[in-house]
Amino acid sequence: MGKKYFGTDGIRGTVGQFPINPEFMLKLGWAAGKVFSDQGQTKVLIGKDTRISGYMFESALEAGLSAAGVDTLLLGPMPTPAVAYLARTYRDAAGIVISASHNPFHDNGIKFFSTEGTKLPDEVEFAIEEYMEKPMEMVSSAKIGKTRRIEDARGRYIEFCKSTVSRSITLKGLNVVVDCANGATYKMAPDVFEELGANVIPLHCAPDGLNINLECGSTHVDSLKRAVLEKGADVGVAFDGDGDRVIMVDHNGEVVDGDELLYIMCQGKHHRGEMDGGVVGTLMTNFGFEIALKEMGVDFIRAKVGDRYVMEQLKTNNWQIGGESSGHLVCLDKTTTGDGIVSALQVIEAMVQQDKSLSELKKGMKKLPQTMINVRLKEKQDLSTHDAVKAAIADVEGQLEGRGRVLLRPSGTEPLIRVMVEGDNAQEVADLCAQLAGEVEKVVAG
């Protein structure tokens, strides 16, 4: 039986529309507080990004937690991975993040972290939903939860980020443009790079509650590319609104995406003799990444799209590193969740240690051309088992002769099937994708 409120990454939606309203958040705070207190946890940390609705939802969650007899520790604007880290260091405190990640300001959401700094297991989310269906009954007045603000949270997280690179590393002489998407990293990311010695050029570090992710950050890098070229910077770093993703730009103004960053991180570990185990990508990870890892002798597997599934495969295989093309990268030897600042530091550490530019390092991986065509369905259906579609896929795979791959992936939100072909020749890839999409359309029209 599916969950009523929780999706693959917490609870998310449009502000003012159920469930992203104050009434629901009050009840959610109470329900979560009841579950956490049942588990013996007496404190909950709350962090948020910079969108204007965060203040309202913070107050509602705080009231609900207090009514359940749980103390609230307020962190203020704080990246999602910082809340995960602080929950881990507090030992008996769960974490809540109020954020809609890379979405615009009029969306918001809630993410939870356990005392280990990981996403909540399914059984805990189910338990919270069970309490949501019960009448809200507060504890006695003497047991109402207290609230206080953690004044040094920012400093703690900055020191943690710096600790994830070698003490011998200095960024002195490195000019870095840091785009914080007017989001949760705006107070911390520039300080991290500056304290490590870099000359920091801050960009989009002036949140007003409405401009989070607005034509900036990891999903809109045009202004970062311009800034890197105009300032003659060595590298540009762009985070999303809650700081769990990173995309970078090299000194030529060229974008370096999540697949390329993950390759550079792996290459850096391999160079230092620290590569332990394999790497987890997703169904959308570029085939060139897989080839580059094979040349290094590193195992690789693909998970379904979504950081939750990447994390599941990492834990199953007892591996340390994985990620997505979007820039959501995970280094389990450094922290427990995707962390944009930590990931960027691993890439820059590789640059400094090998005395190479980001542009030079990314050349070790050749991104293969990729074409995707969306085929609209009359209704959601699984075409992967259809005989005609299977034959068409086999035909295309035969023409690629191991030089690429084919993927049919249903949309999670629309009646669409995404037909993707990757290979070493752009024109051939485009032709084969059109050929396969045409066969799929015939089956749909059927």
pTM of the model: 0.94
Q: How many whole angstroms separate alpha carbon 50 and alpha carbon 96?
A: 15
pLDDT score of 8: 82
pLDDT at 1: 66
Phi and psi at 148, nearest 5°, equal: -145, 160
Does residue 298 fall inside a structural domain?
A: no
110 with 198, same domain: the answer is no
Residue 317 lies in a domain: no
pLDDT of residue 383: 83
- From 106, 126, 151, the end of a domain falls on 151
Assess whether 197 and 93 both reside in one domain: no
**What is the CA angle 64-80-301, rounded to 5?**
125
Q: What is the mean pLDDT of the chain?
A: 96
- With contact defined as beta carbons under 8 Å apart, do 263 and 365 qualify? yes
Q: What per-residue string of b and e applies to 94-126 under the rule 16 or more CB within 10 Å gives b?
A: bbbbbbbbbbebebbbbbbbbbebbbbeeebbb
CATH number at residue 53: 3.40.120.10
Domain of residue 377, CATH code: 3.30.310.50
Report if residue 34 sits inside a domain: yes
* 161 and 188, same domain (yes or no): yes
Strands 300-303 and 405-410: unpaired
- Bridge partners of 375, per DSSP, are 417
Backbone angle region of 130, left / alpha / beta, with phi > 0 → left and psi within -120 to 50 → alpha? alpha
Q: How far is residue 183 from each of residues 20, 89, 194, 236, measured CA to CA in Å?
A: 19, 24, 18, 17
When divided into structural domains, the chain yields a total of 3
Q: Which of 310, 342, 362 is the last residue of a domain?
A: 362
Cα four-point dihedral sign 91, 239, 175, 268: positive
CA distance 284 to 304: 8
Q: Would 271 be classed as within a structural domain? A: yes
Q: Domain check: are 147 and 239 in the same one?
A: no
Residue range of the domain that includes 334? 157-278+329-362
Q: Which residue type, as a one-letter code, is found at position 208?
A: D
What's the alpha-carbon Rg for the chain, to the nearest Å? 23
Same domain, yes or no: 265 and 409: no
In this structure, the answer to whether residues 352 and 422 fall within a common structural domain is no
Cα separation, 169 vs 282, in Å, equals 31
Q: Are residues 161 and 74 in the same domain?
A: no
Q: Rounded to an integer, what distance in angstroms lies between the CA atom of residue 248 and that of residue 224?
A: 9
Give the mean pLDDT per block of 10 residues along the chain (446 residues). 88 97 98 96 96 98 98 98 97 94 97 95 96 97 97 97 96 98 98 98 98 98 98 98 98 98 97 94 96 96 92 96 97 96 98 97 96 89 85 95 92 84 96 96 87
* Domain assignment of residue 272, yes or no: yes
Residue 297 domain-assigned? Answer: no
Shared-domain flag, residues 383 and 334? no
- pLDDT at position 390 is 94
356 and 231 within one domain: yes
Q: Based on the domain organization, do 134 and 193 belong to the same domain?
A: no
Whether residues 212 and 356 share a domain: the answer is: yes
Order of all β-strands in the sheet with 321-323: 300-303, 279-282, 321-323, 329-331
Q: Which of 43, 47, 99, 88 is nearest to 66 (CA)?
A: 43
> Which amino acids are annotated catalytic?
101
51 within some domain: yes
Do the domain assignments include residue 348? Answer: yes
Domain boundary among 151, 174, 196: 151
- Residue 294 CB neighbours (<10 A): 11
226-265 in b/e form (b: 16+ CB < 10 A) is ebbeeeebbbbbbbbbbbbbbbbbbbebebbbbbbbbbbb
Closest residue by Cα to residue 75 from 12, 154, 181: 154
Can you give the pLDDT at residue 36?
97
Q: Are residues 126 and 144 part of one domain?
A: yes
Query: What pLDDT does residue 2 have?
Result: 86
